[in-house]
Homo-oligomer: A and B are copies of this chain.
Amino acid sequence: MIIILRPHAAPKQEQSLCEYIESCGLKAVSVPGDGRSVLCVVGDASALAADYIRSLDFVESVKAVTAPYRLAGRLSHPDDSVISVGSVSIGGGGFAVIAGPCSVESREQVCGIASAVKASGATLLRGGAFKPRTSPYDFQGLRSDGIPLLLEAKRLTGLPVVSEILDMSQLPLFVDVDVIQVGARNMQNTELLKALSRCGKPILLKRGWSNTVDELLTSAEYLMSGGNADVILCERGIRTFETATRNTLDLSAVPVIKERSHLPVIVDPSHAAGKSAYVEPMALAAAAAGADGVMIEVHNDPAHARCDGPQALTPQRFDALCKKLFAVRKAVMSCEN
């Protein structure tokens, strides 16, 4: 921790702060600066009350040297994590293609889409039963009726399934779901994160549309510090002033996450773009940028989808996208070897 004092802080004030730091078992080194002093704390500063120090009127600012995520950070775990989902691995060099409808609507719909995306190369099936909608008048998903339909599609195709949870009371329904998704709105729902840290299943943690990468990793830390190391991160667009797209896909989050964390990161271009015409270019961009996979919404009849139809690809367009995705991945890989 680095503590920058205000100009003209009294020596006595500085000394009292040093004594506080030492009373916590740490050492403070004072460095005289350009009209002010800087105190550097030697050792693990997590024992200090940063807020207390920050609130002192002779302190200008307090800067952390270490990130607030230890388990999610690369420092403690230099090698890439690989998360196993059934026979599928996410991270560590492979490329996961998660595809399926935004919302499970019927047995025919989800099974039909599942078979189609599997044929095109998808490795996991997604499908929402509990939908967090902005308006109370919008379709809220089939809820407890939706999960069994998704599981039928799993049995039919053999694809592991991903579905979103909204509240810990729904957990018993997810016993046969392979990956539990925490949506963007719940990235900082700390009670839900704590409950999921003990659920024994891989979690797909989506970045909140107004959260930084460091906050995403700190939410991953909630899961990991509670005992669940199987965390897959997902960039899905952030909120900016631009209205041409539903959200602004922050693809640079991919290399930033790769640098700061060992966890795999996938990209959801469908929710960021909000429009099917933009999904293909952004999915290809994600593959080129080094993501560990993509998550794509596919619907057999987007015009009649009960949720987010405008951003869904038809199975035909998804098939064409997969061909390009694999070609881009291969091109990047071949240059690296």
Q: Mark A284-298, 1 if CB is under 8 A from B, else 0.
A: 111111100000000
Contact A51 B305 (CB under 8 A): yes
- Is A174 an interface residue when CB atoms closer than 8 A count as contact? no
- Is A256 an interface residue when CB atoms closer than 8 A count as contact? yes
With a cutoff of 8 Å between Cβ atoms, the chain B residues found around residue A42 in the complex are: 31-33
Question: How many monomers of this protein are in the complex?
Answer: 4
Closest Cβ of chain B to A247, distance in Å, is: 9
Closest Cβ of chain B to A146, distance in Å, is: 15
- Is A213 an interface residue when CB atoms closer than 8 A count as contact? yes
CA A29 – CA B190 in complex, angstroms?
40
Choice from B51, B242, B282, B327 contacting A307 with Cβ under 8 Å: B51
- Is A215 an interface residue when CB atoms closer than 8 A count as contact? yes
CA A189 – CA B4 in complex, angstroms?
32
Q: Mark A20-64, 1 if CB is under 8 A from B, else 0.
A: 000000000101111110101111111001011011100000010
Contact B242 A250 (CB under 8 A): yes
- Is A167 an interface residue when CB atoms closer than 8 A count as contact? yes
CA A49 – CA B301 in complex, angstroms?
14
- Is A95 an interface residue when CB atoms closer than 8 A count as contact? no
Q: Mark A90-110, 1 if CB is under 8 A from B, else 0.
A: 000000000000000000000
Binds B, one of A117-125, A127-135, A153-161: A127-135
Given A167-B191, A285-B251, decide whether A137 and B68 contact each other with a Cβ distance below 8 A: yes
Closest to A259 in B: B277
With a cutoff of 8 Å between Cβ atoms, the chain B residues found around residue A241 in the complex are: 210, 212, 238-241
Contact B34 A43 (CB under 8 A): yes
Choice from B222, B288, B305 contacting A285 with Cβ under 8 Å: B288
Closest to A321 in B: B335
Known: A212-B241, A240-B248, A330-B331. 9 other contacts (CB 8 A): A46-B137, A56-B303, A132-B191, A167-B167, A282-B289, A284-B289, A285-B288, A323-B335, A328-B331
Give the 4 A-B CB pairs with smallest separation, nearest first: A210-B210, A31-B40, A288-B288, A285-B285
